[in-house]
Structure 1
């Protein structure tokens, strides 16, 4: 119970500061009472939906909107608190000084109008994130962007010079609520006319049934050399079911979903594309990453067992922390699970060269700031996943992290838009 005490106190402080800022502007009882009624309703909806989520083990669409409602209401209040709290600190020390220097008169008595002005300022500033969250929920999550990269490699086979691939990731179909927008996104994918389409995991939030209404939409995706996919951590249904039999049953349904769409699902496997005797390998591993909380089923050794040195390899691996994680801590209960791979290494140090790794998973936290012409990007997720969006290079190996196609939990995107990535592979010697 103590773990809930601090969040409750913080929320109560935010609500009180917001209430007093409104009261400084108006004494209308209907507005003041309405504030508390609305506050109680928002928290009531949030806690009710979260209790359902905990019991069912999955994020429903209604849970997402409850989270969105709560964040839209709470986050702006942080700005109100910050402005008024700083003013309170200033007024406290100024009042003490004034009290001892000027016969007991306090700053609060001398300038009573300042609180009203700051309250108006705080509410005005709070309106900016409030509007931003509303935009993110109703428009931002379907604001699809096509992001293009041209990548040069010394060892790319000549026959694959100019080869193009489209990457999507983190569909999270359980959060969809607008068929027209999803159909538009699939059309946008097809418009790229890439040689290959790859999907880097998390096709659902938790259970296979979430994807059933969308199979016909996504099966319209087309690419000359086919569609390839892997699983993400959410595709295992590990927190939605109670027994191993249920988890295994969901896994079979997930595999069938991929097949019905037309994906070649890679489960620690390799597929080879060949042009005039030259080869390009598409490798796909099951989920593997630094987090202790997600299933670890990925095996680079299995996926590359038939790879010959000198071949060009593109790896699909859902979690970008697989690229360069530093620790290999496996919990005791995981060691007892025969499905957990314990001999894994990171991609950078792997014995066989993997020229390009494609990942997703982070969503860019669905919140952040990007200014392309300044080459600036920031999201809070960077403190958990240092490689969280875009292209990265180390030791001559490249990683691309897709910002995601769908959403999870918060039903919107603010500043970090859904991404369709198009990558063109070029032979370095052919640079003009």
Structure 2
């Protein structure tokens, strides 16, 4: 699928350039030759990325960084140019130049402040199932850190920890994709930065945490990588919930917290609208139905199965990132993620059940966020009679 999309993007850009330059009257000038060469070189960036990946033995962190910046360069150089072509064809050349320049500035914004400035969203959850002693209980959710893809990890993870700590939550929940490709991304420096997050942290694994994206599976077996990611989180003092439930106690009462691990068997189906989860009865075994339940699960598509099991008064997920692009003039806004997922960002309510999909703080594929800003979510539980 990725290779097909790469070929489509490359061919579409080539075709647009060919049509544009063929319509020009000036032929053979030095400036024209330079422009054509520049256009062909930038059009080919996705193809270059795919070819580098095809001949590489492994997708090391350095190689993944190269991929990311090649795709970024294609976006920043080709997309504004295509916008200009549209207006040039309509004989609105100056308008096209202005809009292409504005789009370029917006893309640069998304690569700088848009990529790194964390937004804190505040959500209040009301339910008569919340024990009275948990009225006012505050916790933070963050997700999809993808630490191996961060451009400036020390600065970005410090900002993340400072943002969370400034909220003084009673608990912190992380909903998967801590690393981008492999466990080595959680080196001593990165672990120390993440340990700056104060208070108890509970987490679950996501599809990027289980080692299945590593090309050299001989040297880096997926099961070993997945186990190492979990072990290093625990070494940081985080409680990793692997298909299990714990109880958060306050006063003489409690609420249940269930964590569902990412199943490596779902790797190729991670973007499907509907997914299987045959192990839910075992995961929730022994959890009283009367207990207010918070479920952490990376994939939001599992929400329907969680609620069908009578659990997940509040389900927290990540995974989607809103595809790092969101137009938000109203409410949830719009993202191409809507073409893939039934539920893709923010809050969804059905009866007594609530799903919240956090847009994450990291990034994959390209180091940019446009509208889908990095998110930390502060929840407050309220008992409503």
**Do the two structures share a fold, i.e. TM-score over 0.5?**
yes
The separation in 2 between residues aligned to 1:207 and 1:53, in whole angstroms, is 17
Q: Structure 1 stretch 280-289 or stretch 141-150: which is displaced more? A: 280-289
1:299 to 256, 268, 279: 279
Contact map agreement 2:80 2:100 (CA 8 A) in 1: yes
Contact map agreement 1:363 1:404 (CA 8 A) in 2: yes
1:246 to 216, 221, 232: 221
Contact map agreement 2:144 2:176 (CA 8 A) in 1: yes
Contact map agreement 1:287 1:298 (CA 8 A) in 2: no
1:359 aligns with 2:361: no
1:399 to 352, 355, 362: 355
Q: Secondary structure at the match of 2:255?
A: strand
The separation in 2 between residues aligned to 1:400 and 1:5, in whole angstroms, is 35
Quote how far apart the aligned CAs of 1:20 are.
6.3
Residue in structure 1 matched with residue 169 of structure 2 by the alignment: 194
5+ unaligned residues in a row in structure 2: which ranges?
none
The separation in 2 between residues aligned to 1:274 and 1:44, in whole angstroms, is 57
1:311 to 273, 291, 313: 291
1:320 aligns with 2:300: yes
Residue in structure 2 matched with residue 134 of structure 1 by the alignment: 108
2:179 to 189, 195, 204: 204
Contact map agreement 1:323 1:348 (CA 8 A) in 2: yes
Residue in structure 2 matched with residue 221 of structure 1 by the alignment: 197
Quote how far apart the aligned CAs of 1:348 are.
2.3
Taking structure 1 as reference, are residues 314 and 6 closer, same or farther at Cα in structure 2, changes over 3 Å only?
closer
Quote how far apart the aligned CAs of 1:418 are.
0.3
The separation in 1 between residues aligned to 2:282 and 2:162, in whole angstroms, is 35
1:415 aligns with 2:374: no
The separation in 2 between residues aligned to 1:149 and 1:284, in whole angstroms, is 21
Q: Structure 1 stretch 180-189 or stretch 291-300: which is displaced more? A: 291-300
Q: Secondary structure at the match of 1:378?
A: coil
CA displacement 1:267-293 (0-9 Å, x = unmatched):
101111112221111110012698743
Residue in structure 1 matched with residue 73 of structure 2 by the alignment: 69
Residue in structure 1 matched with residue 18 of structure 2 by the alignment: 16
Quote how far apart the aligned CAs of 1:308 are.
1.1
Contact map agreement 1:17 1:80 (CA 8 A) in 2: no
5+ unaligned residues in a row in structure 1: which ranges?
88-114, 325-345
Residue in structure 1 matched with residue 144 of structure 2 by the alignment: 170
Contact map agreement 2:296 2:315 (CA 8 A) in 1: yes
Aligned length: 370
Q: Secondary structure at the match of 1:323?
A: helix
The separation in 2 between residues aligned to 1:28 and 1:415, in whole angstroms, is 42
2:308 to 337, 346, 349: 349
Quote how far apart the aligned CAs of 1:173 are.
0.7
Quote how far apart the aligned CAs of 1:249 are.
1.5
Q: Structure 1 stretch 163-172 or stretch 374-383: which is displaced more? A: 374-383
The separation in 1 between residues aligned to 2:186 and 2:351, in whole angstroms, is 38
Q: Structure 1 stretch 272-281 or stretch 308-317: which is displaced more? A: 272-281
1:146 aligns with 2:120: yes
Contact map agreement 1:285 1:298 (CA 8 A) in 2: no
Residue in structure 2 matched with residue 103 of structure 1 by the alignment: none
Residue in structure 2 matched with residue 120 of structure 1 by the alignment: 94
Contact map agreement 1:18 1:80 (CA 8 A) in 2: no
The separation in 2 between residues aligned to 1:19 and 1:189, in whole angstroms, is 52
The separation in 2 between residues aligned to 1:227 and 1:161, in whole angstroms, is 20
Residue in structure 2 matched with residue 82 of structure 1 by the alignment: 86
The separation in 1 between residues aligned to 2:373 and 2:150, in whole angstroms, is 15
Quote how far apart the aligned CAs of 1:355 are.
0.3
Contact map agreement 1:281 1:314 (CA 8 A) in 2: yes
The separation in 1 between residues aligned to 2:19 and 2:117, in whole angstroms, is 34
Taking structure 1 as reference, are residues 376 and 45 closer, same or farther at Cα in structure 2, changes over 3 Å only?
closer
The separation in 1 between residues aligned to 2:380 and 2:53, in whole angstroms, is 41
Q: Secondary structure at the match of 1:377?
A: coil
Quote how far apart the aligned CAs of 1:237 are.
1.5
CA displacement 1:145-193 (0-9 Å, x = unmatched):
0110111011101111100110000000111121223212211111111
Provide runs of 4+ in structure 1 moved above 6 Å.
295-298
TM-score by length of 2: 0.87
Quote how far apart the aligned CAs of 1:296 are.
7.6
CA displacement 1:103-157 (0-9 Å, x = unmatched):
xxxxxxxxxxxx4xx2232232222222211211122110210110111011101
The separation in 1 between residues aligned to 2:237 and 2:78, in whole angstroms, is 42
Taking structure 1 as reference, are residues 245 and 181 closer, same or farther at Cα in structure 2, changes over 3 Å only?
closer
The separation in 1 between residues aligned to 2:278 and 2:217, in whole angstroms, is 23
The separation in 2 between residues aligned to 1:298 and 1:145, in whole angstroms, is 36
